[in-house]
């Protein structure tokens, strides 16, 4: 896999101004009381929300420490550590929180060790348990952390605090160093929690997804009209969600304009029925592709009925149709779930 996609580590900062202080407090409140923009925090009854490594464990404490340790140009740094949800899906659910906590602390400590800051640095972090909003795979567990760092760091050589900075020049690029440390730490963590074959398993998942996209080599199964009134060919198919589940939905081309190519298009999948065993998903995708008879509304209706079935009902329906071994190519367009 592309190791740059293993874990996102983004850095921002707030200025030591009245506006910066207000923004910083609003950010701290958001991090304390939300899991994401759309979901309130699950656990906020006390000070256990934040893990304190010297910056405090409440909005008031952290805001005060940021002010106490600010530099001339930086009130506070905020760093996001967000592991790839596809890799997190390989980690047992009961181990994911510990995984992300260890990843966060190892990444922060390793990064500043690489920079030669032997005295370490104060920080606090909060763990969020949001769900992905990726339109191709919504609702996946996406645990991540937000880390708060001060604007200064203690310099043992000078015996005082000096500004903390993140250079990006030819001689030293701390952002590149941060990404390198994050990738190495993430790889070590996944190997420890998942096993030495984690990368082969990920590559297999990616290869299956690429194979599923080849459905567009067939004739389109129908057409849909978007919000702008444009018509698009659609293909009913599957997308492997993780090692246990597959979703049934449709593929179509979506606008992906860039400055260099304003007319660029990208093939994307939209799920209509998720959480199915792989073999079942492939079976029902073929059934629905024929039963929709070219009608997008019909496809959505049939997928909705499929979503309303439990595992036993889906199994019974497969047996009624004739089982996995029976070809579904000759299913009548009038077939009703």
Whether residues 231 and 183 fall in one domain: no
Look at residue 264 and tell me if it is in a domain: yes
- Which pLDDT band holds residue 155 (cuts at 50, 70, 90)? confident
Same domain, 180 and 236: no
327: in domain: no
- CATH value at residue 162: 3.30.930.30
Of 196, 228, 248, the residue at which a domain comes to its end is 196
Judge if 57 and 20 occupy the same domain. yes
Note whether 140 and 27 are same-domain residues: yes
Question: Which structural domain, as residue segments, surrounds residue 89?
Answer: 3-196
237 lies in the same domain as 105: no
Q: Do β-strands 34-36 and 141-150 pair in parallel, antiparallel, or remain unpaired?
A: unpaired
Domain boundary among 144, 162, 196: 196
pLDDT digits (tens, 9 = 90+) for 4-57: 899 999 999 999 999 999 999 999 999 998 887 777 776 655 557 899 999 999
Residue at 271 is within a domain: yes
Residue 148 and residue 123 in contact, taking contact as beta carbons nearer than 8 Å: yes
* pTM value surpassing 0.85: yes
Q: Is residue 333 domain-resident?
A: no
| Same domain (yes/no): 175, 238 | no
My answer on whether 124 and 29 are in the same domain is: yes
pLDDT (average), residues 157-169: 88
Q: Do 40 and 117 reside in the same domain of the chain?
A: yes
Residue 151 lies in a domain: yes
- Asked if residue 264 and residue 151 are part of one domain, the reply reads no
For residues 174 and 251, state if they share a domain.
no
Confirm whether 203 is domain-assigned.
no
Q: What is the structure's pLDDT at 119? A: 75
Which one is predicted more confidently, 331 or 158?
158
State whether 183 and 247 are in the same domain: no
Angle, vertex CA 282, rays to CA 277 and CA 286, nearest 5: 145
For the chain, the domain total comes to 2
If you average pLDDT over residues 184-206, what whole number do you get? 97
DSSP state of 95: G
Task: Indicate the burial class of 168 (C-beta count within 10 angstroms; 0-12, 13-18, 19 or more).
Answer: exposed
Nearest CA to 246 out of 257, 237, 236, 259 is that of: 237
Quick one: 107 and 230 in the same domain? Answer: no
Is 209 among the domain residues?
no
Structure confidence at residue 332 (pLDDT): 46
**Residue 336: pLDDT above 60?**
no
Identify the domain boundary among 167, 196, 225.
Answer: 196
**How far is residue 209 from each of residues 163, 238, 308, measured CA to CA in Å?**
47, 9, 25
User: Per residue in 81-138, pLDDT tens?
Assistant: 999 999 999 999 999 999 999 999 999 999 999 998 877 899 999 999 999 999 999 9
pLDDT on residue 322: 80
135 in a structural domain: yes
Q: Which helix (H) or strand (E) holds 161?
A: strand 160-163
């Amino acid at each position: 896999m592309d190791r740059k996609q293993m874990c996102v580590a983004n850095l921002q900062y707030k200025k030591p101004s009245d506006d910066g202080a207000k923004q910083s407090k609003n950010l701290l409140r958001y991090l304390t009381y939300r899991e994401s923009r759309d979901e309130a925090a699950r656990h906020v009854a006390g000070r256990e929300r934040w893990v304190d490594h010297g910056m405090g464990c409440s909005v008031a404490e952290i805001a005060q420490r940021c002010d106490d340790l600010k530099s001339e140009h930086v009130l506070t740094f905020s760093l996001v550590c967000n592991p790839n949800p596809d890799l997190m899906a390989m980690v047992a659910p009961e181990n994911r929180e510990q995984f992300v906590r260890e990843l966060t602390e190892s990444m922060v400590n390793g990064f500043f060790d690489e920079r030669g800051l032997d005295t370490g640095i104060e920080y606090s972090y909060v763990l969020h348990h949001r769900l992905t909003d990726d339109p191709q795979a919504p609702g996946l567990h996406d645990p991540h952390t937000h880390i708060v760092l001060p604007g200064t760091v203690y310099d043992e050589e000078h015996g005082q605090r000096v500004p903390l900075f993140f250079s990006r020049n030819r001689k030293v690029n701390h952002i590149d160093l941060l990404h390198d440390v994050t990738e190495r730490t993430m790889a070590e963590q996944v190997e420890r929690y998942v096993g030495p074959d984690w990368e082969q398993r990920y590559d297999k998942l990616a290869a299956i997804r690429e194979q599923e996209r080849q459905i567009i080599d067939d004739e389109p199964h129908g057409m849909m009209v978007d919000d702008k009134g444009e018509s698009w060919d659609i293909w009913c198919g599957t997308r492997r969600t993780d090692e246990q589940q597959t979703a049934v939905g449709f593929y179509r081309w979506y606008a992906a304009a860039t400055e260099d190519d304003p007319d660029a298009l990208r093939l994307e999948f939209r799920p209509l029925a998720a959480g199915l065993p792989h073999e079942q998903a492939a079976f029902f995708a073929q059934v629905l592709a024929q039963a929709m008879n070219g009608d997008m509304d019909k496809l959505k209706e049939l997928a909705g009925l499929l979503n309303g079935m439990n595992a036993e009902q889906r199994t019974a329906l497969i047996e009624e149709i004739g089982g996995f071994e029976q070809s579904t190519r000759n299913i009548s367009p009038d077939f009703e779930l």
